[in-house]
Amino acid sequence: MRADRLLQIILLLQRHERLSARDLAERLEVSTRTVLRDMEALSAAGVPVYSERGRNGGCVLLPGYRADVSELTPREAQALFAWSGRAALSEELGLQDALHSAMGKLSATLPVELQGDADALSGAIVVDRRRWFAEAEDTGALPVLRQAVVKRRRVRLRYASASEGVQRRTVDPWGLVEQAGRWYLVAAHRGAARMYRVSRVEQADILEELADRPDGLDVRAEWERLRSALERQMPLGVDVLVRVRRERVEMVRRIATPMLAKGEVARDVPSDDEWPHLRMHFRVREAACGVLLGFAGDVEVLEPADIRARMLELAEAAVATYR
């Protein structure tokens, strides 16, 4: 819509002070001619914008002008206030007070007819990012890491690595990723990109040195690359057929589902057995054994044979330990 594009031009010029018509056209995915027409429309509407010709020219917004957010659509207002329902994210990042203050200022500028729906949606949306039966992650280091990312400063970490024990590392922080209730720091250590689980950061100290950050860095793309590399290192998944005591079927579904491959669910399989049969595709073989063994005699793996053998091996080891 043109109104949205006009607001985008104002916001872009507020941020960058001066942009060429070509830059604006590329950012808005329209023609240069369309941008120039939009500039004329804004000027005619009283917005203090103007175009300068020449080598150092471009589209300019007079300093100090701010867009009126009262032009938000109902859906846009609801989207912003729904985000405030994710208060846990802001709290972990150390920005909860800032979020409340910002939403209060925004609310004061909204038309009355938008405030009701936005407030209603904000109060009705609850986001719980914890998995079932899992404790909340320790994110005490997150506010410090956020500040280091924003200020682009190096950080000295005391990090409890799962494989190498407690280590001290100086890293160049690139970004933070929240994935299924867990926070990760994407950073470079000795020039190589790494991911660090925030709950394992025992101490984080911001240094005066500027972080080494590659030009054109795309943190999202870097995260996807690191995640894909980690998943390739994990053992292959496995398709398992089990029989389950009837009164335990829903419990098995609920606990097993987070460990299944993306998009997979526990599927019912027809059988003459008095116990229901389920087929599940686990992402990791050892996870399948661990989850299913936890149900003891309420679940029996029917296939594949190697998983049955591994279950027996684990069960015998457990009996030997606890006898």
pLDDT of residue 8: 79
pLDDT of residue 228: 87
Asked if residue 79 and residue 16 are part of one domain, the reply reads no
CA gap 250, 265 in Å, rounded: 12
Task: Report the percentage of the chain scoring pLDDT > 70.
Answer: 82
Asked if residue 38 and residue 15 are part of one domain, the reply reads yes
Asked if residue 164 and residue 192 are part of one domain, the reply reads yes
Higher pLDDT residue, 120 or 168?
168
In a domain, 135, yes or no: no
Convert the pLDDT of each residue in 198-212 to its tens digit: 999 999 999 999 999
Asked if residue 268 and residue 221 are part of one domain, the reply reads no
Asked if residue 104 and residue 183 are part of one domain, the reply reads no
pLDDT of residue 145: 94
In a domain, 136, yes or no: no
pLDDT of residue 317: 93
CA gap 285, 5 in Å, rounded: 51
Asked if residue 82 and residue 12 are part of one domain, the reply reads no
What is the average pLDDT value for the chain, to the nearest integer?
Answer: 84
What is the pLDDT averaged over residues 247-258?
A: 92
What is the pLDDT averaged over residues 13-33?
A: 85
pLDDT of residue 223: 93
pLDDT tier, 134 (very low <50, low <70, confident <90, very high otherwise): low
In a domain, 163, yes or no: yes
CA gap 232, 242 in Å, rounded: 27
- Domain extent, residue 26, equals 2-61
**For residue 151, which phi and psi values (nearest 5 degrees)?**
-85, -10
In a domain, 51, yes or no: yes
Q: What is the DSSP letter of 172?
A: E
Can you give the pTM of this predicted structure?
Answer: 0.59
Residue 154 belongs to a domain with what CATH number? 2.30.30
Convert the pLDDT of each residue in 256-284 to its tens digit: 988 888 778 899 999 999 999 999 999 88
The single residue listed with the structure tokens 């950080």 is: 155
Residue 18 belongs to a domain with what CATH number? 1.10.10.10
pLDDT tier, 231 (very low <50, low <70, confident <90, very high otherwise): confident
Total count of domains within the chain: 4
In a domain, 133, yes or no: no
Q: Which of 15, 34, 61 delimits the end of a domain?
A: 61
pLDDT of residue 165: 87
In a domain, 101, yes or no: yes
Convert the pLDDT of each residue in 35-74 to its tens digit: 888 888 888 878 888 887 766 668 888 887 766 655 667 7
pLDDT of residue 83: 63
Among 77-81, 128-132, 310-314, the range of highest mean pLDDT:
310-314
Convert the pLDDT of each residue in 145-174 to its tens digit: 999 999 999 999 999 987 788 999 999 999
Q: Which of 30, 61, 92 delimits the end of a domain?
A: 61
In a domain, 134, yes or no: no
Lowest-pLDDT range, 4-13, 178-187, 199-208, 211-220? 4-13
In a domain, 109, yes or no: yes
Asked if residue 249 and residue 210 are part of one domain, the reply reads no
Asked if residue 203 and residue 182 are part of one domain, the reply reads yes
Asked if residue 181 and residue 263 are part of one domain, the reply reads no
pLDDT of residue 103: 67
pLDDT of residue 122: 67
CA gap 51, 57 in Å, rounded: 7
Convert the pLDDT of each residue in 88-110 to its tens digit: 677 777 877 777 666 666 665 66
